[in-house]
Amino acid sequence: MTALMAKGVNRGDRPIAVEPTMDLHQFGQAILHMARLPLEANILTMTIRASKDPSEGRG
């Protein structure tokens, strides 16, 4: 799913750049964490993204 991003894609701030990706296992671990919570608890929001994604905080 992220093979194209590893080769480089058009970005708003520069012509073509490699997008940071993350291991799918880490995403799965976050989903499992939510599923294992007791019914009395919930997670209202959870942002899961590659830690080197430069778009964080760019208006």
CA-based angle 37:32:42, to the nearest 5? Answer: 30
6-55 pLDDT tens trace = 777 776 666 777 777 888 899 999 999 999 999 999 999 988 888 877 76
| pLDDT of res. 36 | 96
Q: Note the pLDDT of residue 59.
A: 45
User: Residue 57: its pLDDT value, please?
Assistant: 56
Please report, for the chain, the start and end positions of each structural domain, with discontinuous segments joined by +.
1-49
Q: What pLDDT, on the 0 to 100 scale, is given for residue 1?
A: 65
